[in-house]
Amino acid sequence: MRYTPAAVALSMFLAVSSSAGFAAGEEPDPQAQALAQAGRDLLAAGDSQGAIDLFEAALVVDPAFTAVYVDLGNAARVDGLQGKAIHYYREALERDPENLAAISGEGEALAEKGSLDSARENLARLEELCGFDCAQVDELAAAIERGPVVRVMTAEAVSPDADVSAN
């Protein structure tokens, strides 16, 4: 009787950890895959907002679809939202710590944001995982070489207030 709580806790731990292990190897839902592919096509065509809508729909269909977080990060980077992109890449890395696309994407977003030291850490991690002749290593190294993205606002981008009055 004294061992019952410990036995119950141990059995619950084993049940949860074994089910998590089975879920990690599961294929994504086909409908979620179709939505994600349609989103990638829209992103390639330049419609980042439409792509984000489809990626989010794919996550509703299959919340465990890790690759969609990488796609959301890519879409956020296209929109110039590096901080949001880093969040999505880290979510993907939390689910799959050796996801090369997420490590590379996070590093590129960090480099674009100006955090070159952190981007170099991601580069070293990528080199450890896939070597020096890996496409992700080349992409991240090029992003670090380019450095931070400087956002310049032009006068044409700002519309004057219609309610301006003379002094």
Q: Over the stretch 12-57, which tens digit does the pLDDT of each residue have? A: 444 444 334 344 557 889 999 999 999 999 999 999 999 999 999 9
Which single residue is written with the structure tokens 């731990």? Answer: 13
Q: Are 104 and 84 in contact (CB under 8 A)?
A: no
Structure tokens at 41: 């096509």
Total structural domains within the chain:
1
Q: Are 36 and 58 in contact (CB under 8 A)?
A: yes
Give the domain range for residue 117.
Answer: 27-148
What pLDDT is recorded for position 150?
77
* pTM for the predicted model, two decimal places: 0.74
Residue 130 resides in a domain: yes
Which single residue is written with the structure tokens 């895959």? Answer: 33
Structure tokens at 120: 């170099």
CATH number where 76 lies: 1.25.40.10
- Calpha distance 121→124 (Å, rounded): 5
Please tell me which of 99-103, 145-149, 150-154, 160-164 the model is most confident about, judged by mean pLDDT. Answer: 99-103
Residue 16 resides in a domain: no
Residue 164 resides in a domain: no
- Calpha distance 8→166 (Å, rounded): 78
Residue 89 resides in a domain: yes
| C-alpha torsion angle, residues 25, 30, 35, 41 (rounded to 10) | 90
What pLDDT is recorded for position 22?
40
Q: How far is the CA of 34 from the CAs of 27, 30, 31, 96, 166, in angstroms? A: 13, 6, 5, 21, 57
Residue 55 resides in a domain: yes
Percent of the chain with pLDDT over 70: 75
Structure tokens at 51: 């792509």
Q: Please, is 84 exposed, middle or buried when counting C-beta atoms within 10 Å of its C-beta (0-12, 13-18, 19+)?
A: middle
